[in-house]
Amino acid sequence: MSDVRSFHMTTARRINDRLMRPLIRLGVVPGTYLLTFAAARPGYRGATRLRSSTGIKGGDGWSLRMAMWGGCATRARPGRVTLTRRGHGVEYTLREVSPDEAGAVLKGYVSQAKVTRPYFAARPDASAAEFAAEADRHPVFEVIAV
């Protein structure tokens, strides 16, 4: 695990995030939503990009399990969130899933989002159980329709 990278929010990433947020809100970035949530620090609202392909859609209505990477993953907390796209925001509830549930989601996430691979000890072809072992460092949330 010594070759696993830690995420650091750089000035360039902050600038990129600030520039992308209005574009995502307007729906200019294909297949991407803006997820806004109450963070660990009281009174702070965090926001992160969420690709529509991230996670697994559930069978009961529109819910999905998603993995976030970067600073927002460590600041996000269960509770109410807003998904915004094309100027339309919808409220959902965010629930952190168990490590067993997270394993399959993280495995799929690493397969889809190649940029995240250096942050995981498990390789993309590893079992879901190996990814579940890393769930404490990579939280996975279920987004549930309110």
Q: Give domain status of residue 39, yes or no.
A: yes
At 47, which CATH number?
A: 2.30.110
pLDDT of residue 126: 92
pLDDT of residue 73: 53
Whole domain around residue 50: which residue ranges? 11-145
What is the token pair recorded at 36?
Answer: 């806004």
Q: Give domain status of residue 2, yes or no.
A: no
| Spacing of C-alpha 97 from chain mean position | 13
pLDDT per residue as tens digits for the range 37-80: 776 667 777 777 776 555 444 444 444 555 555 455 555 667 78
3-class secondary-structure state, position 108? helix
pLDDT per residue as tens digits for the range 85-108: 888 888 888 888 889 888 888 888
Structural domain tally of the chain? 1
Q: What are phi and psi of 118, to 5 degrees?
A: -65, -15
Q: Give domain status of residue 127, yes or no.
A: yes
